[in-house]
């Protein structure tokens, strides 16, 4: 096996008798190098976008959320909250109430998602860092307040400091509707606006409004219920182990989700796009390896004289075939190693210097350059894919060589 590897290495680095074969050999290897580098770069960019999205959503999504498995609300939420706060890994836990309502300001109105939260809700997330106008404040000595997303702020033409109050309407959960007095079918309340937040994620910015939880209880008629319990764990806590313990303590009547489970649709969408891009790049890589097959075919033709000499020296057809199979592996694997190195170099350069920009209007973008996150699992996957395609190339080369030797 050692002499076959030595001969294959010699064929790989030595100058070919025909200049065209040298050019085709270089092109075939460059095809593998460029495609492998592109594969790593594409996967890393999707990792970057996924991290960017999840990082943004993590600013508002709770670390752990507890909801009722059936029904809309958790009955006797205070009792469940006592069980949750008794867990040693819980740093903070609050009940929240979220439902749909109608917001009216002056002559403007729109349906919104109303989320009632306690005054200390800011301890669970980074609301202070998301404020673009005014402050995060739900109560002061004068009045309760609402904090609105940038979408409702623009559509309702409302902002902090206005003396006119934001009116909120929610349909009554119980009782019959009196057609003579249709407004009697709604519960109404009014608040001043203290601030406007922007997450730069449409699912939150478009229609979300935060209000004090007592206002939400009044509007939605949830005196002791909560639609969700939101938790923050202590630093260093094992999230998966905690979720298992909490699920055991609460039972099947409650569903426990971490941030990825809460945003499963967005996470799944990014993953689908990533693996579709992976399959597309794998197909391009497969096409690139056709150059390797053609290179080996030309090399076999060029080495007819050498093959005759090897036969005269006693080499079997199987041993001669193995030389060219190893040659195909070497071309593919060397191209894979160089491609991985080039891909990592480009990714780290993009991380440090942001060579590729997303667009010209930097004010409208969350980031200015393509985000890149290299995951070593993706690197191993890319290298493994190239090695697998190299195996297919070697098998095709083996069949070609055997047919030629048989003639």
Structure tokens at 135: 């402050």
Structure tokens at 377: 């699992």
d(CA 135, CA 133): 7
CA angle 335, 337, 340 (to 5 degrees): 105
pLDDT reading at 362 higher than 60: no
The per-residue pLDDT of the chain, averaged, comes to 86
Q: Say what the pLDDT of residue 175 is.
A: 65
Q: Are strands 186-197 and 145-149 parallel, antiparallel or unpaired?
A: parallel
Note the pLDDT tens digit of each residue in 90-139: 999 999 999 999 999 999 999 999 999 999 898 888 888 899 999 999 99
Q: Are strands 145-149 and 166-171 parallel, antiparallel or unpaired?
A: unpaired
d(CA 403, CA 407): 6
The SS3 call for residue 15 is coil
Q: Answer yes or no: pTM beyond 0.85.
A: no
Note the pLDDT tens digit of each residue in 282-307: 888 888 777 777 777 777 777 777 77
């Amino acid at each position: 096996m050692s002499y076959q590897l030595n001969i294959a290495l010699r064929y790989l680095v030595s100058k070919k008798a025909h200049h065209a074969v040298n050019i085709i050999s270089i092109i075939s290897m460059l095809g593998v190098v460029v495609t492998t580098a592109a594969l790593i770069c594409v996967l890393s960019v999707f990792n970057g976008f996924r991290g960017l999205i999840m990082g943004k959503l993590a600013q508002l999504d709770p670390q752990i959320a507890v909801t009722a498995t059936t029904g809309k609300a958790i009955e006797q939420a205070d009792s469940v909250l006592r069980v949750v706060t008794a867990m040693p890994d819980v740093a903070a836990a609050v009940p929240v109430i979220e439902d749909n309502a109608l917001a009216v300001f002056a002559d403007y109105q729109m349906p919104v998602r109303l989320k009632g939260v306690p005054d200390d809700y800011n301890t669970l997330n980074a609301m202070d860092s998301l404020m673009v106008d005014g402050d995060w404040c739900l109560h002061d000595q004068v009045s309760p307040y609402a904090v609105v997303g940038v979408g409702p702020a623009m559509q309702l033409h409302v902002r902090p400091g206005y003396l006119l109050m934001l009116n909120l309407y929610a349909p009554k959960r119980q009782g019959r509707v009196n057609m003579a007095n249709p407004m009697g079918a709604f519960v109404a309340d009014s608040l001043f606006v203290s601030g406007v937040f922007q997450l730069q994620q449409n699912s939150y910015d478009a229609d979300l409004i935060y209000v004090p939880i007592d206002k939400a209880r009044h509007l939605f008629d949830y005196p002791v219920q909560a639609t969700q319990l939101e938790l923050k764990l202590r630093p260093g806590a094992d999230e998966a182990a905690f979720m298992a313990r909490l699920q055991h303590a609460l039972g099947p009547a409650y569903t426990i989700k971490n941030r990825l489970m809460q945003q499963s649709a967005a996470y799944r969408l990014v993953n689908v796009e990533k693996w579709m891009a992976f399959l597309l790049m794998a197909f391009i890589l497969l096409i690139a390896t056709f150059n390797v097959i053609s290179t080996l075919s030309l090399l076999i033709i060029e080495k007819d004289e050498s093959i005759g000499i090897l036969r005269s020296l006693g080499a079997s057809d199987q041993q001669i075939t193995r030389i060219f199979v190893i040659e195909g592996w070497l071309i593919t694997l060397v191209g894979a190693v160089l491609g991985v190195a080039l891909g990592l170099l480009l990714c780290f350069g993009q991380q440090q210097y942001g060579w590729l920009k997303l667009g010209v209007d930097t004010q409208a973008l969350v980031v200015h350059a393509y985000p890149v996150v290299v995951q070593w699992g993706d690197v191993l996957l890319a290298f493994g894919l190239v090695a697998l395609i190299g195996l297919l190339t070697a098998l095709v080369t083996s069949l070609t060589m055997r047919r030629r030797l048989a003639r």
